Amino acid sequence: MQNIQIFLNYLEFEKRYSSHTIIAYKTDLIQFNDYIISQYESKLFHVTTVMIRSWMMSLIESSCSKRSLNRKLSSLRQFYKYALKNDLTAINPMLKIVSIKADKSIPSFITKDEMVYLLDHREFSKDFEGARDKAILEMFYSTGIRLSELISLKIKDVDFESKQLKVMGKRSKERIIPLLDTHLNELKFYMHTRRNEMLSDRVNLFLTKSGNILYPKLVYSIVNTYLSEVTGVKQKSPHILRHALATHMLNDGADLNAIKEILGHSSLTSTQIYTRTSAERLKDIYKQAHPRGN
C-alpha cells in the first residue's frame, strides 16, 4: 500500500493528474492488490503475467465492461512503468498484456432544441444559486470544458475584454476558448450576484452557497436536475453537455480540428467519435426524406 501511495503522490504532484483520475488509479490498484493477495498470496512486485491475465478473467466474469477493464489495465501499466523506472522492480509484468478491443459507442447527446429551451426559456431564480447554476450550464455547453476544468476555473481566467477563457486541461496543457456575448452576460450577472450576496474572497470562479470551492458531486447534481427537465437521455452528466457542444458544432459545419482544440483533445482520434454521431444523423435524415426511405 505504501508503494501505491508513493505512486499516487507522483501522479498528483509531478504529473499534475486530476483528483478524479487519481481516485480511479487508486481504486484500480487497490482492487488488483487485494486480488493477488487473496488468490496468490503474492505482492505487487512479485506479480507475473499469468496473475494479471487471471485477474482480467475474473473481471470479465463479473461483467466488467471492456472499457472499464482497459482503464484498469492502463492503471497497472502506468504503475509498473513507474516502478521499473524507479528500480522498485526488475521486471514489468505488463509487457505482454494487451488491452481488449472495446466496442466504440456513439455518445448520446442532447438536441439543440432542448439546450435552447433550457438556456433561453427556462426561468432561473435571480439569487446566487440560480445565477450560478445557469452560468455553470452555459459554461459546459458553450466551451465544452471538463468537470475538473470547471471546478478549477479562477475568476482571472475569464477575460471579458478579449472575450475568451483560459483553461488548464489534462497534463497541465493550457488552451484558450472564445466566449460568446450571451455567455459573457450570464457570467457578468453571476459575478454581480455573487458580490452582492457573498462575503467570499476565494479566487475560484464557481463556489457553493456557503462560499466554498465546488465539488464534483454537487456539480453532477446541478446538471442532472436541470437536464432532467428537458431531456430523456439516460446520461445527464456534465460530460453529456461536452458531447452536445461537439455534435452540434460538427452538424453545423465546424471544422473537426477546431472542435479538437476547443475540447482540448491531444489527438484527433478522440474527436472523430463525433463524426460517427453525425453519420447516424445523416442516415436518419436520408431515410425520412428519401421517397423510398420507408
- Considering 15, 170, 175, 188, which one is annotated as catalytic? 170
Please tell me the chain's helix, strand, coil percentages from 3-state DSSP, rounded to the nearest 5: 60, 5, 35
Tell me the C-alpha distance between 12 and 14, whole Å.
6
Alpha carbon dihedral 8, 11, 16, 19, in 10-degree steps, equals -40
50-88: buried (b, 16+ CB within 10 Å) or exposed (e) per residue?
ebbeebbeebeeeeeeeeebbbbbebbbbbbebbbeeee
243 is catalytic: no
290 is catalytic: no
46 is catalytic: no
226 is catalytic: no
Structural element, H or E, at residue 197: helix 181-197
Tell me the C-alpha distance between 93 and 47, whole Å.
7
Residue bearing cell 426559456? 121
Q: Which residues are catalytic?
A: 146, 170, 239, 242, 265, 274
